[in-house]
């Protein structure tokens, strides 16, 4: 199948295993792009792909789309179910619609862009890389985040950044209630520009202003004098 | 001079010295107590409450020291392309690099390989040295996803989805700052020196239906090659087993409330979960209810010390025994050496349980190079190998004496209970009743 630029894959009547094997084989054969049709919110389409390839999903996708992948880029022309881009090591996933619970859980690199809203726990355990939410983000977004950047252009629900260890949250809108151990900090030179440039690259309208939030490190080590914070998190 | 009367202790049974000490420690620390190893309770039902009833005239034993007695267990047979073959019905439990020193990991890996059994990464990712030293390595897939990546998943011989452990069911791992060395922190993407409290809930699945999807994802990543188990702490075990069956795992792992730990809140060690022996009874029944007893293996841990405990667990319905603390003890945990260091920790051998501090006097649960050097890998590996060999022989001893040429053929009929509690819990008849009503009820 060498020299084929684009492969079209129709998910209808195909078991998940065959679809993923076809994508893996395409990547092995040097196919540049796989266009995936009739996704019908099916789960686990495009997981465990470890060679560079570009995936175009025509429609909504289910759980764990582009999960446990390395070096894959993807456009999802629809909305995504739970855990889109789960544990991504490198690459890029762009969701044109909304993302359900836990978008980009525990990613260790790469970038996930949700142009619509994100459900609860966006960027939970984020370890590295970027997660961009063009709209609002649900409760406990950035929970126990370890590093990387979580960019929320709209509002955030309760518990934003709760127990985050490191990393940055950029918030455009209001927050219903901040999580424990989070503080607003001054952006360093160039940081905001980098965020705005990134949004521009995806044609996401930036909010009027961004607040930068980081861990205040009060939860790094137990301190009995910080009991008010610890009682919620211990 | 002996006396039939023993004076009760002068202190209060309510305000026992332990209770007083605990309150005063909390008054000092401002937090709950944390300790390593296991519950300190002395009143849990025990495998000692069961005895084997080997062959006599009514059944023939196998020649004790000669006749073949098969110990092999295969997990995922007929279900995945590369099932996990264990030469003995034993696995070394998931214990993280971070909780354990790398020398302890190396020694356990060598010993397990010598015995044809597996070790398990525990939390914190797969250390390359652990992969190198363990012929068969299980990789844990935990809520925290520390060090998680598809390449290591593909290197593993089984994946164990962690959803709890007996020492602290319903809560996540704890690793205090002193053990968060540069290397441990790097593997977990954390800053060195932080007190790590892991999440207990997976970030991207919750109920039974989600679990099925998660399992499919991992099977896709590992190409349906290796078995996948799910581990829980024994508490609501019967329902958990049913859900695991529905998700179609290859094995279910659980440890009872006696289960070991490197660091847990002491109240959870002592007051949460159910004992191993009760959990086996509930789990086996649930597995039979679901009709999955021939497909899904039960891997059971929590306070298993000897071949007697192991054989009894197997006779109750476990397929594989999951050992954490016992191999650590074989590695010299509690050994009365380096006494000054035990004393500096305010403890003694046999009472220690200071694994959470990172100051293990014998180099097992520490990341400090000076202490770690006290664990000689080759010697440790030999001690654990010897211990595992002895345990295997003990298990075979009971199987042969009960007339079984396969350890897996031990069954509840091979035992009797010494106590009513355990008889009630397990359904194993009390001794003296010959499995029926008392003889005089016939007349
Ligand atoms: C030092 C130590 C570290 C442990 N680390 C983990 C872990 O990372 N993940 C996990 O699921 N269980 C962990 N456990 C629990 C064991 O996997 C196992 O369930 C338990 O030790 C079995 O009980 P036993 O110690 O009485 O044999 C740990 C236990 C010990 C003793
Ligand atoms: S000797 Fe080491 S491993 Fe054993 S209980 Fe003490 S600290 Fe833990």
The DSSP code sequence of B17-38 is: HHHHHHHHHHHHHSS--EEEE-
Q: Is B37 close to ligand 2, i.e. is its CB under 6 Å away?
A: yes
Dihedral over alpha carbons A185, A190, A192, A193 (to 10 degrees): 170
DSSP assigned state of B362: T
Q: What is the model's pLDDT at position B65?
A: 74
At residue B5 the predicted structure's pLDDT band, cuts being 50, 70 and 90, is confident
pLDDT digits (tens, 9 = 90+) for B324-339: 999 999 999 999 999 9
In a 10 Å sphere around its CB, with 0-12 CB exposed, 13-18 middle and 19+ buried, how is residue B12 labelled?
exposed
A200 Cβ partners below 8 Å, 6+ apart? Answer: A206
Whole-model pTM?
A: 0.96
Q: Is residue B430 part of a domain?
A: no
Q: Is residue B338 part of a domain?
A: yes
Closest residue on chain B to A234 (Cα): B197
- Please indicate whether, in this complex, the C-beta atoms of A224 and B151 are within 8 angstroms of each other: no
How many beta-carbon pairs below 8 A join chains A and B? Answer: 117
Quote the CA–CA distance of B428 and B433 in Å, as a whole number: 11
% of residues, chain A, pLDDT over 70: 94
Q: Helix axis angle, B276-289 relative to B307-316, nearest 10°? A: 30
- Predicted ipTM of the assembly: 0.95
Between the CA of residue B372 and those of B18, B359, B377, B442, what are the distances in Å?
Answer: 32, 10, 10, 66
Q: Which of A64, A106, A144 sits opposite B213 (nearest CB)?
A: A64
Between the CA of residue B210 and those of A11, A32, B140, B205, B215, what are the distances in Å?
Answer: 21, 32, 18, 5, 9
Among B334, B415, B391, B412, residue whose Cα is nearest residue B91? B391
Tokens of A215: 């861990």
Q: Is residue B434 part of a domain?
A: no
Which of chain B's residues have a Cβ under 8 Å away from the Cβ of A233? 197
Nearest ligand to the CA atom of B119: 1
Q: How many CB atoms lie within 10 A of CB B29?
A: 12
The answer to whether the CB of B243 falls within 8 A of the CB of B146 is no
Among A40, A75, A65, residue whose Cα is nearest residue B220? A65
pLDDT digits (tens, 9 = 90+) for B139-171: 999 999 999 999 999 999 999 999 999 999 999
Q: Helix axis angle, B237-247 relative to B276-289, nearest 10°? A: 40
Quote the CA–CA distance of B164 and B158 in Å, as a whole number: 18
**CA–CA min distance B390, chain A (Å):** 42
**CA–CA min distance A114, chain B (Å):** 17
A 26-55 residues inside an 8 A Cβ radius of B:
43-44, 47-48, 50
3-state secondary structure of A227: helix
Between the CA of residue B102 and those of B141, B153, B175, what are the distances in Å?
Answer: 20, 20, 15
Residue ranges covered by each domain of chain A:
6-233
- Please indicate whether, in this complex, the C-beta atoms of A220 and B195 are within 8 angstroms of each other: yes
Report which ligand 2 atom has the smallest distance to the Cα of B36.
Answer: 8
pLDDT digits (tens, 9 = 90+) for B387-435: 999 999 999 999 999 999 999 999 999 999 999 999 999 999 999 987 7
Q: Is the pLDDT of residue B2 over 70?
A: no
What CATH number is attached to the domain comprising B59? 3.20.20.70
Mode of pairing for the β-strands spanning A168-171 and A149-152: parallel
The domain of B364 spans 34-423
Quote the CA–CA distance of A213 and A141 in Å, as a whole number: 12
Q: For B118-130, what is the mean pLDDT?
A: 97
The DSSP code sequence of B94-152 is: E--BTTB-HHHHHHHHHHHHHHT-EEE--TT---HHHHHH-SEEEEEE-TT-TT--HHH
- Fold of the A6-233 domain: Pectate Lyase C-like (2.160.20)
Q: Is B326 close to ligand 2, i.e. is its CB under 6 Å away?
A: no
User: Average pLDDT by consecutive 10-residue portion of chain A (234 residues)?
Assistant: 80 97 97 98 98 98 98 98 98 98 98 98 98 98 98 98 97 97 96 98 97 95 68 51
Q: Is residue B209 part of a domain?
A: yes
Quote the CA–CA distance of A122 and A137 in Å, as a whole number: 7
Q: How many CB atoms lie within 10 A of CB A200?
A: 11
**CA–CA min distance B355, chain A (Å):** 18
DSSP assigned state of B39: -
* CA–CA–CA angle B364, B368, B372 (5° rounding): 40
pLDDT digits (tens, 9 = 90+) for B238-288: 999 999 999 999 999 999 999 999 999 999 999 999 999 999 999 999 999
Tokens of B433: 């009743």
The answer to whether the CB of B192 falls within 8 A of the CB of B182 is yes
Under the phi-then-psi rule, with left for phi > 0, alpha for psi from -120 to 50, and beta for the rest, what region is B121? Answer: alpha
Between the CA of residue B391 and those of B244, B327, B388, what are the distances in Å?
Answer: 29, 11, 5
């Amino acid at each position: 199948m060498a020299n084929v630029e684009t492969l079209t894959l129709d998910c209808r009547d195909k078991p998940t295993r065959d679809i993923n094997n076809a994508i893996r084989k395409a990547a092995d054969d040097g196919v540049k792009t796989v266009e995936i049709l009739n996704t019908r919110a099916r789960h686990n389409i495009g997981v465990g792909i470890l060679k560079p390839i570009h995936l175009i999903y025509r429609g909504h996708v289910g759980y764990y789309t582009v999960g446990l992948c390395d070096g894959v880029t993807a456009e999802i022309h629809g909305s995504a179910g739970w855990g889109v881009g789960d544990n991504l090591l490198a690459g890029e996933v762009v969701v044109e619609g909304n993302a359900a619970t836990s978008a980009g859980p525990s990613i260790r690199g790469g970038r996930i862009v949700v142009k619509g809203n994100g459900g609860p726990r966006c960027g939970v355990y984020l370890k590295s890389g970027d997660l961009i939410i063009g709209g609002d983000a649900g409760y406990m977004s950035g929970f126990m985040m370890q590093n990387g950047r979580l960019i929320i252009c709209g509002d955030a629900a309760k518990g934003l950044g709760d127990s985050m260890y490191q990393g940055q949250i950029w918030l455009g809108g209001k927050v219903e209630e901040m999580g424990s151990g989070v503080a607003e900090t001054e952006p360093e030179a160039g940081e905001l520009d980098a965020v705005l440039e990134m949004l521009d690259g995806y044609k996401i309208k930036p909010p009027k202003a961004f607040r930068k939030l980081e861990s205040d490190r009060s939860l790094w080590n137990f301190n009995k004098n910080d009991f008010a914070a610890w009682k919620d998190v211990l | 001079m002996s006396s039939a009367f023993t004076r009760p202790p002068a202190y209060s049974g309510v305000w026992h010295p332990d209770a007083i000490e605990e309150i005063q420690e909390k008054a000092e620390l401002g937090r709950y107590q944390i300790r390593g190893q296991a519950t300190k309770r002395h009143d849990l039902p025990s495998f000692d409450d069961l005895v084997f009833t080997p062959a006599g005239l009514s059944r023939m034993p196998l020649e004790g020291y000669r006749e073949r007695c098969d110990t092999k267990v295969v997990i995922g047979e007929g279900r995945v392309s590369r099932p996990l073959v264990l030469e003995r019905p034993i696995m070394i439990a998931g214990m993280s690099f971070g909780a354990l020193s790398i020398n302890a990991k190396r020694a356990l890996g060598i010993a397990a390989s010598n015995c044809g059994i597996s070790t398990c990464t525990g939390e914190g990712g797969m250390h390359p040295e652990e992969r190198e030293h363990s012929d068969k390595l299980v990789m844990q897939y935990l809520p925290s996803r520390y060090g998680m990546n598809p390449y290591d998943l593909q290197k593993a011989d089984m994946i164990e989805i962690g959803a709890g452990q007996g020492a602290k069911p319903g809560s996540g791992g704890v690793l205090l700052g002193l053990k968060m060395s540069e290397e441990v922190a790097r593997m977990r993407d954390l800053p060195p020196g932080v007190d790590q409290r892991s999440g207990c809930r997976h970030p991207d699945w919750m109920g039974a239906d989600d679990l099925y999807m998660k399992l499919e994802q991992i099977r896709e990543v590992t190409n349906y090659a290796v078995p996948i188990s799910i581990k829980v702490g024994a508490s609501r075990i019967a329902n958990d087993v049913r859900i695991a069956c529905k998700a179609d795992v290859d094995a279910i792992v659980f440890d009872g409330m006696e289960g070991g730990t490197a660091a847990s809140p002491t109240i959870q060690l002592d007051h949460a979960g159910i004992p191993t022996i009760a959990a086996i009874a509930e789990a086996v029944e649930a597995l039979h209810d679901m009709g999955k007893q021939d497909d899904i293996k039960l891997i059971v841990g929590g306070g298993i010390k000897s071949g007697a405990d192991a054989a009894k667990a197997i006779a109750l319905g476990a397929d594989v025994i999951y050992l954490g603390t016992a191999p650590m003890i074989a590695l010299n945990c509690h050994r009365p050496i380096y006494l000054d260091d035990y004393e500096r920790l305010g403890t003694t051998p046999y009472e220690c349980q200071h694994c959470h501090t990172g100051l293990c006097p014998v180099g097992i649960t520490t990341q400090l190079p000076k202490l770690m050097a006290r664990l000689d890998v080759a010697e440790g590996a030999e001690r654990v190998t010897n211990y595992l060999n002895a345990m295997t022989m003990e298990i075979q001893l009971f199987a042969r004496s009960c007339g079984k040429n396969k350890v897996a053929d031990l069954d509840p009929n091979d035992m009797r209970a010494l106590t009513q509690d355990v008889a009630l819990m397990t359904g194993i008849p009390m001794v003296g009743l010959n499995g029926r009503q008392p003889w005089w009820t016939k007349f």
